[in-house]
Amino acid sequence: MVAVAIVGKASPRRGAAATVTFRGSGKVFGDKLQWLVEDGKPQAAILRVWRTETSQQGVENEVQELIVFKVQSPAACRYAVVKASQPSANELAVARAHEAISAVCPEK
């Protein structure tokens, strides 16, 4: 199992609640975390991940996705997931990240 936590400066780094968890596969994380920043503050982020997905037939497959996060103080939430195998996946993820800027994370 893999967990990603995006927390603000004021939040404690140890024991931070996971923003997302999934069953990692292969490389697990891409080389970069892309930030969308407005007025010097992070508003959204995009992370490439590899995870394991089990089909209805019980077959495990490796899936590559772009997870889009809405970043808000003091934490973040998953806003969208884009399948990396689809055409223009990177551009679609950036478009969803721009949408996320004006979104609000649901209450936990």
Question: What are the pLDDT tens digits along the chain (108 aa)?
Answer: 888 888 776 555 555 677 889 989 888 999 999 999 999 999 999 999 999 999 899 999 999 999 999 998 777 899 999 999 999 999 999 999 999 999 988 776
- Is 39 part of any domain? yes
- Is 81 part of any domain? yes
- Is 108 part of any domain? no
Angle of CA points 50, 2, 47, to nearest 5°: 50
pLDDT at 106: 78
- Is 106 part of any domain? no
Containing domain of residue 85, as a range?
2-101
Task: State the DSSP string of 8-54.
Answer: -TTS-STTPPPSEEE-EEEEEEEEEEEEEEETTEEEEEEEEEEEEEE
What's this model's pTM, rounded to 2 decimal places?
0.87
pLDDT at 49: 96
Beta bridge partner(s), residue 72: 75
pLDDT at 95: 98
- Is 20 part of any domain? yes
- Is 70 part of any domain? yes
Q: How many domains does the chain have?
A: 1
- Is 73 part of any domain? yes
